[in-house]
Amino acid sequence: MKHNIDLLLTNAIVLTMDENYTKFEPGGLAIDGDSILAVAPDKELINDYQANETIDCQGKVLMPGLVNAHTHVSMTLLRGLADDLRLDVWLLGYMMPVERRFVSPDFVRLGALLGCAEMIRSGVTCFADMYYFEEQVAKATAEVGMRALCAQTVLKFPAPDADAFEESLGAAREFIQRWKGHPLIEPAIGPHAPYTCTEEILRATVELALEFDVPIHTHLAETALEVENSRQEHDMPVIPYAKKQNLFDAKVLAAHCVHIDDGEIHTLLHHGAGVAHNPSSNLKLASGTAPVKKMLDTGLNVGIGTDGPASNNDLDLFEEMRLAAFLAKNATGDPTSLPAPIALAMATRLGAQALHFGHLIGSLEPGKRADLILVNINNWHNIPHYRRDENSIYAQLVYAAKSTDVTDVMVNGQWLMRDHRLLTLEEQGLAEQAHDYARRIDAFLIEREQSVLSKLLAIGGATEGESFEVQVKARIPDPKLVLTALEKPEIEILYSRHYHEYDSYFIFDGSEQGSLRYREDEYIDEDGNISNIRYRLTLIGQQRERHYPNDVLLSRSRYLAPAVHSLRFYREYFKPTHEIFVEKDRLRWRVLYKGTEFYINLDRLDQPNLGYFVEVKSRTWSRRDAEHKAEVSTDLILFLGATPEDIIVEEYPALVPPTS
């Protein structure tokens, strides 16, 4: 007596990807509703089942759908926005400013639809996501019929969907309550990373995850810098720190884990955490090479992710499988490392287990959901076929097959693609909407990049504000002239300081841009020791408001900000036409002279070696005040020992001789 079922797939090379790597050829699947009833050789299936529909797979490979273990699918809309940049410039200079401005529910939905279309086409049936407005990702994915772990991002900074983390946390709770139990979507919470969260946030997300028994999806140990900072701030690397915040009490999916040691691998194993390895992203951002072979040998569930398409730049898991195998060989110096069957297991069974979906998907086994793909292995790049080695078929899929060889995709018993045709997604209009976003974002960035000031403001690098300053400067043959003058009764010294200053000036084409000065200021105490260091960024307007007699200048628009990033960051972000470096020793006094407050700088230029200069400066608020101070400044600088002929108008960079 035959069982009556919905669907029979026959005449395939079936790779079950179960723990024994069972294969059937020719073989197939018996599917009823959303689930697999049987996987077996054709003869057995035909003998046991009567199906409403029988599909001849024509010798294609029938295997579990691929699991993309880590992505930010809506960033598909930011693909190609900025490439070949360092992580900080890319993230802080481009991604975050654009996200702050453009990421909306509409953006997230459109990006998710585009990403789902791309993933279905390349054989992905399930993905682990983390983004803002994650509700929209869940909705779009469920509509399209794909499976996903959807994590609502929580972090300590204001986000496109929340001004404070309490808001994201509340949104996450509601999101989880709405979606928990959905047949395709597993809601989750996504504390972005230990370094972008506080201990309070981490602990709160763990509590929420435990309350609803949902996974935590997070980034751990992506870069060496992250680990170094964790050691400095917390006296321990990233995994122990996360453990200390109880993170691993929840079901964790940890993306990257590039910089972790043996002990940390065992911590992850002990707590059943899954890992998402992201080969392309780690290579493209030069984050390093994750110890994947060691993680696998230890028994960790390591899946493969594409990461977001803004750092990849696509969602192609065939590429990632191949790269995972290649990288492990390169890293261990052993070409037998991470052979093809393991790479394919990472993209299927191990990935599903890393998402804590191992009971549902990841292999073709009775009782699991019918998430599967058909792959044509008869294209030009994939012939001939060798079959002597039982692993040849896996090598064929990992080393030669392309995502475009995937012809058919089913999720939860529903076809999403037949013969390259998407069935559940209205493609029309999506591309045009995406191009429209790109045009608007391009315009936003182009406008921003027209001036150094707006680029500076875009990274939160300055508060806009104006100040007027009267300034006069002179070469001085001997510093003792100034020191002697300062002892005279005409001058009252309010306070004095000693600095050693390293100034990098970024010079831009087009004088209207002004120049940007990155200053490292060493405070020298009375014993001659460095007591503090301050980093400051100053945008110096090239235009002078007025030029008073005796070369007294009125300058305007100096935007000051603490320099929170490195010189290297600013260099790569602002891309100056050229750079000028000045090192000087500065004695600085605040004085009263003729009833007016002035700053006096006595500078010794060490690099280049240009001798001594004296500067007299005074802040001012009105033109009249400025005219008055201009006059007194001139008196003062002459009083300090300068002669009228010594007065110069140039800023220091203009005095530096050009280098070859």
Segment 280-299, which members bind its own copies (CB under 8 A)? Answer: 280, 282-286, 288-289
- DSSP class of residue 272 equals T
CA trace torsion 75, 80, 82, 85 (10° rounding): 100
Q: Smallest gap, in angstroms, from Cβ of residue 619 to its own copies? A: 39
Residues 334-373 that bind its own copies (CB under 8 A): 334-337, 339-340
Q: Smallest gap, in angstroms, from Cβ of residue 88 to its own copies? A: 10
The structure tokens listed for 117 are 């279309």
Looking at the Cβ atoms of 78 and 176, the one nearer to its own copies is 78
- Is residue 114 within 8 A of residue 77, CB to CB? The reply is yes
The structure tokens listed for 398 are 């990992």
Exactly one of 1, 20, 84, 624 binds its own copies (CB under 8 A); that residue is 84
564 binds its own copies (CB under 8 A): no
Which of 584, 393, 605 shows the shortest CA–CA distance to 499? 584
Strands 414-418 and 421-422: antiparallel
d(CA 437, CA 113): 14
Residues 376-395 that bind its own copies (CB under 8 A): 378, 380-389, 391-392, 395
d(CA 572, CA 569): 5
Exactly one of 258, 327, 354, 637 binds its own copies (CB under 8 A); that residue is 327
d(CA 180, CA 232): 39
- Is residue 144 within 8 A of residue 120, CB to CB? The reply is yes
Looking at the Cβ atoms of 247 and 315, the one nearer to its own copies is 315
Q: Smallest gap, in angstroms, from Cβ of residue 283 to its own copies? A: 4
Q: Give the count of residues interacting with its own copies (CB under 8 A).
A: 77
The structure tokens listed for 391 are 């692993």
Residues 119-178 that bind its own copies (CB under 8 A): 121-122
Candidate segments 6-14, 148-156, 374-382, 523-531, binder of its own copies by CB under 8 A: 374-382
Strands 49-56 and 35-41: unpaired
127: left (phi over 0), alpha (psi -120 to 50) or beta: beta
428 binds its own copies (CB under 8 A): no
Candidate segments 262-270, 324-332, 548-556, 559-567, binder of its own copies by CB under 8 A: 324-332
566 binds its own copies (CB under 8 A): no
- DSSP class of residue 387 equals -
Residues 599-618 that bind its own copies (CB under 8 A): none
Tell me the CA end-to-end span of the chain in Å, nearest whole number: 90
455 binds its own copies (CB under 8 A): no
Which of 149, 130, 135, 144 shows the shortest CA–CA distance to 178? 135
Q: Smallest gap, in angstroms, from Cβ of residue 85 to its own copies? A: 6
Write the burial class of residue 135 (CB in 10 Å: 0-12 exposed, 13-18 middle, 19+ buried).
buried
Exactly one of 41, 91, 240, 437 binds its own copies (CB under 8 A); that residue is 437
Which of 281, 257, 312, 254 shows the shortest CA–CA distance to 119? 312
d(CA 44, CA 62): 17
Residues 572-591 that bind its own copies (CB under 8 A): 572
Candidate segments 247-255, 326-334, 406-414, 481-489, binder of its own copies by CB under 8 A: 326-334
d(CA 580, CA 560): 19
Write the burial class of residue 545 (CB in 10 Å: 0-12 exposed, 13-18 middle, 19+ buried).
middle
Candidate segments 44-52, 333-341, 354-362, 531-539, binder of its own copies by CB under 8 A: 333-341
Looking at the Cβ atoms of 391 and 596, the one nearer to its own copies is 391
Exactly one of 9, 87, 317, 485 binds its own copies (CB under 8 A); that residue is 87
d(CA 511, CA 452): 11
d(CA 226, CA 394): 36
SS3 106: helix
Instruction: Annotate 332-373 with DSSP letters as a single string.
Output: HT-TTSS-HHHHHHHTTHHHHHHTT-TTTSSS--TTSB--EE
Exactly one of 99, 134, 135, 319 binds its own copies (CB under 8 A); that residue is 319
330 binds its own copies (CB under 8 A): yes
The structure tokens listed for 648 are 């110069």
Residues 187-246 that bind its own copies (CB under 8 A): none
Q: What's the distance, CA 80 to chain centroid?
A: 14
Q: Smallest gap, in angstroms, from Cβ of residue 329 to its own copies? A: 4
60 binds its own copies (CB under 8 A): no
d(CA 52, CA 547): 91
- Is residue 65 within 8 A of residue 317, CB to CB? The reply is no
Looking at the Cβ atoms of 55 and 63, the one nearer to its own copies is 63
Exactly one of 100, 271, 329, 546 binds its own copies (CB under 8 A); that residue is 329
The structure tokens listed for 559 are 């935007």
480 binds its own copies (CB under 8 A): no
d(CA 484, CA 592): 16
Which of 264, 279, 259 shows the shortest CA–CA distance to 70? 279
Looking at the Cβ atoms of 428 and 622, the one nearer to its own copies is 428
Candidate segments 9-17, 245-253, 257-265, 318-326, binder of its own copies by CB under 8 A: 318-326
Looking at the Cβ atoms of 111 and 461, the one nearer to its own copies is 111
Looking at the Cβ atoms of 121 and 565, the one nearer to its own copies is 121
Looking at the Cβ atoms of 280 and 412, the one nearer to its own copies is 280
Strands 61-64 and 3-15: parallel
Exactly one of 135, 161, 186, 316 binds its own copies (CB under 8 A); that residue is 316
Residues 93-122 that bind its own copies (CB under 8 A): 114, 117-118, 121-122
Looking at the Cβ atoms of 325 and 552, the one nearer to its own copies is 325
71 binds its own copies (CB under 8 A): no
421 binds its own copies (CB under 8 A): no
Q: Smallest gap, in angstroms, from Cβ of residue 327 to its own copies? A: 7
85 binds its own copies (CB under 8 A): yes
SS3 76: helix
Q: Smallest gap, in angstroms, from Cβ of residue 123 to its own copies? A: 13
Exactly one of 275, 441, 614, 637 binds its own copies (CB under 8 A); that residue is 441
The strand pairing partners of 168, in sequence order, are none
Looking at the Cβ atoms of 41 and 288, the one nearer to its own copies is 288
Residues 2-41 that bind its own copies (CB under 8 A): none
Residues 296-315 that bind its own copies (CB under 8 A): 309, 312-315
d(CA 420, CA 551): 75
Q: Smallest gap, in angstroms, from Cβ of residue 370 to its own copies? A: 24
Looking at the Cβ atoms of 556 and 568, the one nearer to its own copies is 568
Residues 399-418 that bind its own copies (CB under 8 A): 399-400, 402-404
